[in-house]
Amino acid sequence: MVTAAQVWEAFEQIPDPEIPVVSLVDLGVIRSVDVSDGHVRVEFTPTFLGCPALEVMKQALEAKVSELGAEPDVQVVQDDSWSTDKITPAGREKLRAAGFAPPPPREASAPKLVQLQASVHRCPYCGSTETKLENIFGPTPCRSLRWCESCRQPFEQFKTI
């Protein structure tokens, strides 16, 4: 009989479809795993609701549970319980190593443009904070585009949610 620990371990093998250097566990999008009588109920939270990878992630979770010989029941939880603060320290380090600046911590109030425009965001390549906002938006809803004045190249910055 499969255990919750085995399910979590298996989920660590599922890469994020858009940024495969991190797993779904690293991203912190799996809220809970409950195992009973060969059924595995998983609660999963989207990063951004506009994420095109949402359905792919759900299918990957279902497939992984099936591979373990259990019956999957994957529920997408559409509430505010996921935050970029849930990305694990290991996940943040993997993002940085792959050239994605990890998100700043969530604050009590909504993020402001002036914060994004401030040169406090660190370049994932050279570590400089001499960076500027190029675009609030990027290739996926969860990212914005910045430019590093020190190493003269663009990089992607995770948005805080």
Partner 1 sequence: MNALLLGLADDELVLGWRDSEWTGIAPMLEEDVAFSSIAQNEIGHARALYQLLGDNPDALAFDRPLDEYRCAPLVELRLLDWARTIARRWLYEVADEIRIAALMEDGDPAVAGLAAKINREEAYHRMHAEMWHERLRETPQFRAAVEELWPYAVGLLPEGQRDELAARVSLPLPGDSLLLGKERGAHTDELAELWDEMTMVRRSAPAGAQW
**Rule CB under 8 A: which residues touch partner 1?**
46, 48-52, 54, 76, 78-81, 110-113, 116, 134-141, 144-145, 159, 161
Query: Could you tell me which residues are beta bridge partners of residue 6?
Result: none
| Residue 39 or 112 with smaller CB distance to partner 1 | 112
Residues 48, 106: Cα–Cα separation, whole Å? 15
Q: CB 81 → partner 1: shortest distance, Å?
A: 8
Q: CB 85 → partner 1: shortest distance, Å?
A: 12
- With beta carbons less than 8 A apart as the criterion, state whether 134 and 147 touch: yes
Q: Residue 125: CA atoms inside 13 Å, Cβ hemisphere, count?
A: 13
Residues 156, 141: Cα–Cα separation, whole Å? 12
| Residue 3 or 135 with smaller CB distance to partner 1 | 135
Q: CB 83 → partner 1: shortest distance, Å?
A: 8
